[in-house]
Amino acid sequence: MSGSPQPDRIAVRGARVHNLQGVDVDIPLRSLVGIAGVSGSGKSSLALGVLYAEGSRRYLEALSTYTRRRMSQAPHAAVDSVEHVPAALALRQRPGVPGVRSTFGTSTELLNVLRLMFSRLASHVCPNGHRVPPTIDVAAETPFACPVCGEHVHAPGAEALAFNSEGACPTCQGTGVVRTVDDATLVPDPSKTLDGGAVAPWQMFGFNVQPAGAGARRVRGRADASSTCAPSTRRRPCRCTSSTRRRSG
């Protein structure tokens, strides 16, 4: 007996979100679809208020109760029916200004789902190197014993896998780059004095009062006291990025 045919379109019936007044529409699946129209015609209402709202809500309803509590809930869309809608992600029209740690995963909140999956469904390694199968004790944040050697395992929770919080590398703070002072750039000519322009950044506009400030603090006039000066930084990759590449390879 052959299986039922796979749906090839999303069927929206009776959409009544904002400017949509009982709209019926079929949207092809497995295709790149654009929604066009004049301003105020309901493009965003159809894309976000109906398709995204129903897709994300049904996806969240398939997760466990514990997981749903940790994620924002999507409301029901004002629509008679939506059939064959898949799980949905939304990239907003006006995204926030990205920070130094922003990625596609943080912008779409996909990282939240991945962190939960790796924390709850992954096999963890005990201190003696044995692989421990997934267990519900991870969700309860309770240490458990390795079935091979009996050693206690403290598996990382979802927050420990976030590079924006406690899971960040202590060396680079989750940016992947370490900034250090480049003495050669800071003091190109060590033979000069502070008053003679030894510290290169102090020659920039707005820093010309620094020599006077150094004199008030009784800093020696030779450039070998440059450790007290404003830093000129250089960047190098953090070890955490190279170790991550080695593990993934």
Q: What is the pTM of this model?
A: 0.40
Q: What HEC string does 124-145 produce? A: EECCCCCEECCCHHHCCCCCEE
How long, in residues, is the chain?
Answer: 249
Instruction: Report the distance separating Cα 83 and Cα 24, nearest Å.
Output: 12
Instruction: Report the distance separating Cα 169 and Cα 237, nearest Å.
Output: 12
Position 26 scores a pLDDT of: 92
Q: How far is CA 234 from CA 102, 178, 189, 242, in A?
A: 22, 8, 18, 18
Residue of 165, 126, 164 lying closest to 147 (CA atoms): 126
Helix, strand, coil shares of the chain, percent, nearest 5, are: 30, 15, 55
Rounded to an integer, what is the distance from CA 168 to the centroid of its chain?
11
* 229 Cβ contact list (under 8 Å, min separation 6): 186, 187, 199, 201, 202, 210, 214
From the CB of residue 194, how many other CB atoms can be counted at a distance below 10 Å?
23
**Beta-bridge mates of residue 179:** 235
What is the SS3 assignment for 153? strand
Position 219 scores a pLDDT of: 55
Position 61 scores a pLDDT of: 72
Burial of 224 (0-12, 13-18, 19+ CB in 10 A): exposed
Position 149 scores a pLDDT of: 92
* pLDDT profile of the chain (249 residues), mean per 10: 73 90 90 88 87 82 69 75 81 62 73 83 88 82 86 82 70 76 80 77 67 59 41 62 49
